[in-house]
Amino acid sequence: MQDLKEHEPDYYKSFRYILSANEPLEELELTFSAEVESLGGKVVHDLKPNGRNIKLSQSNKKEYVGLFTAWLLNHSIDQQFRLFREQFYRVVTGRIIRMFQAEELERIVCGEQLIEFRELEKAVNYEGYTTKTPVIRWFWELLHGFDPSTKKMFLVFATGTDRVPIGGLGNLKLTVERMCPDSDNLPTSHTCSNVLLLPEYSSKAKLKCKLELALKYREGFGLI
C-alpha cells in the first residue's frame, strides 16, 4: 500500500476507503476485474478466475485490494518491466545490484527527486551575462518561485530531460547565454549542450510572460 500511495495515489485513496468502509460495498458495483484502455478500446482483466462476475463485498474486500494492488504494481507492467530489466542487466551486473538498497537504485535509474534550483544557480555558467545583470536576477527569482511541475518543465526545456543528476542540480552543467537585446523573441535552448538562450528583456514581467510561453509550447519549439 505504501508503494501504491506513492505511484497511484488515486487508487490508494479508493482502496483506503474500501478497507475502512462499514456499509455494504455491493452498491459500488465493483468486481474482481480491472478495466484499461487499449488501442482505442477497453480491455477487462480478471484479478482472479471469473473475477468480472465476482462482486466486491465486505467479506472479500481485503482480497480485492490485495489482488488489485498486485495487478497495478506488478502484473499490468510485467511485459514492460521484463524488457527494461533485460536491457538494464546488459549495463549493470547482478553482483553490483546487490550492493544497492532500493532507494539508492531508484536514484541511479530515475535521478534525484528533489528539484533544488538554488544548487543550479550556484553552478550555472553565463555567456554575455553576469550574476548582477537584472534579467538574470529576475530569471532566478522566477525559477525559485515555480512549483515542482513547472520546474520539471523548465528542466525539459533547457536540457531535454526532467531528471536531476545524482548528487543534485549542482552537478548539472547549464549555460545561460545572451541571445540578443530586449526583443519579443522567446527564450530557446540547445538541449544537446544544455545551453539556454535568453534575450535581455527590459522587465521582469516581460521575462515571466516570454518564459512561461516558451515552457507551455516547449514541445516542438526551440529544442535543438
50 φψ region: left (φ > 0), alpha (ψ -120 to 50), beta (else) = left
User: Residue 103 contacts by C-beta under 8 Å, 6 or more apart in sequence?
Assistant: none
Name the grid cell of 211: 518564459
Q: Tell me where in the chain the CATH 3.30.2410.10 domain(s) lie.
A: 117-216
Q: Strand 175-178 relative to strand 125-127: parallel, antiparallel, unpaired?
A: parallel
Q: Residue 213 in 3-state DSSP?
A: helix
What is the reported pLDDT for 224?
39
User: Residue 79 contacts by C-beta under 8 Å, 6 or more apart in sequence?
Assistant: none
The candidate with the shortest Cα–Cα distance to 172, out of 193, 187, 146, 189, is 193
Domain 2-78: which topology?
Hect, E3 ligase catalytic domain (3.30.2160)
Name the grid cell of 127: 555567456
- The residues carrying an active-site annotation are 192
* One CATH from 3.30.2410.10, 3.30.230.10, 3.20.20.140, 3.40.50.300 for 117-216: 3.30.2410.10
Q: Tell me where in the chain the CATH 3.30.2160.10 domain(s) lie.
A: 2-78
pLDDT at 38 over 80: no
Residues 166-183 have pLDDT tens digits of 667 777 888 999 999 998
State the amino acid at position 149 in one-letter form. Answer: S
Cβ atoms of 31 and 52 within 8 Å: the answer is: yes
Give the span between the Cα atoms of 143 and 145, in whole angstroms.
5
pLDDT at 91 over 80: no
Q: Which residue has the higher pLDDT, 218 or 87?
A: 87
